[in-house]
Amino acid sequence: MENTKQPLFLCLLVYCLVLHSYKVHSQSLENFFHKGGKLYAANIEHVTSLKTDKDIAVYAIRLGYGSFLFNNFAIQGHLELLKTKGYFKTKPNPSFETFDANSFGIGTSFLFRWYAVKLGSVSFFVDASGGILYTFNSFPSKGTKLNFTARPGTGIAVQINNSQLLLSANRFHLSNGQGYNHPHNPAYDGIGIFIGLIHRSK
């Protein structure tokens, strides 16, 4: 009888340890989304144009700092380095005219992110960011050096302890705010894909 009790006791002990570990892990996952904390973020992004007359690619590195304003709702500020590569083609009037769109830029932006659905260590979010970008050359050559950016998007995050790996897609918009038909505002629209890492510290 004693030989039978020992395996049962060991099984019960293992079960209790696994259950306790799962509860601690679940609590740790949930604590990541609680109000407060310090968030450190690093992202890389690639944007491709939506229009054939603006064959421009955008590459960006963004470093951010933020916090959870409310449970599941984060806010971050970003400093970004950006490179644009390609050309902008005007409408025929009477013929096409091509302008260079190669430049480097530096900017800042603010992001709001809502973690809408959480399934264990995986969460789905929607976010939106907007900011200001200064390029060392006019973007494109008949545009301006100072422009505004907007990035509404959605993505998935995988949590590892106090960090997250992110994969996201966004609608990237860049213009100087003078309107789509303004001669010195050749607005740029594209689809951006970025991967990122976020670490939370208390």
pLDDT bin (cut points 50, 70, 90) of residue 12 is low
Closest Cα partner for 126 from 148, 108, 151? 151
Identify the domain containing residue 165 by its residue range: 32-201
- Amino acid found at 174: L
Residue 10 makes CB contacts below 8 A (sequence gap 6+) with: none
Instruction: State the CATH number of the domain containing residue 192.
Output: 2.40.160.20
- pTM for this model (two decimals): 0.79
Count of domains observed in the chain: 1
For residue 14, the one-letter residue type is: V
Structural domain includes residue 5: no
In a domain, 22, yes or no: no
CB-based contacts of 25: which residues, under 8 Å, 6+ apart?
none
CA distance 129 to 115: 15
What band does 73 get if pLDDT is binned at 50, 70 and 90? very high
Model pLDDT for residues 112-168, shown as the tens digit of each residue: 999 999 988 899 999 999 999 998 988 766 778 888 999 999 999 999 889 999 999
